[in-house]
């Protein structure tokens, strides 16, 4: 069942539709807001588009580091495949959100 989530971040407002439950979407949004705040704090960048792009890049970096670590730790190919699929979904969601920001 698709759920809608209203986003109002970095001066941009839009709604996304996702197949995840509302509580999950709210957690992801809270994590993204925290990531944006951290990016602004460490970079000193204030331009919303630049902050969004840099935040997306940093999150992808973090995901890939976790993925590499997980691939080394999992001996079971099924567990490694699951980690890979989850990572791919997270990256796809980030790409989708960034494209939505660009089109807003």
d(CA 71, CA 65): 10
More confident residue, 96 or 14: 14
pLDDT beyond 90 at 85:
no
pLDDT-derived band at 82 (thresholds 50, 70, 90) equals: confident
The domain total for the chain is 1
Cα atoms in the 13 Å half-sphere on the side-chain side of 28: 18
Extract the runs of DSSP E, i.e. beta strands, from 19-61: none
Domain around 69: 3-103
Reported pTM: 0.64
């Amino acid at each position: 069942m698709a759920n809608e989530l209203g986003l109002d971040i970095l001066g941009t407002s839009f709604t996304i539709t996702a197949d995840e439950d509302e509580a999950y979407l709210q957690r992801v949004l809270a994590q993204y807001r925290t990531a944006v705040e951290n990016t602004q704090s460490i970079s000193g960048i204030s331009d919303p588009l630049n902050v969004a792009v840099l935040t997306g890049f940093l999150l992808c970096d973090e995901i890939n580091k976790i993925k590499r670590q997980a691939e080394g730790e999992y001996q079971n190919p099924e567990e490694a495949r699951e980690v890979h699929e989850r990572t791919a979904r997270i990256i796809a969601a980030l790409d989708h959100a960034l494209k939505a920001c660009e089109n807003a």
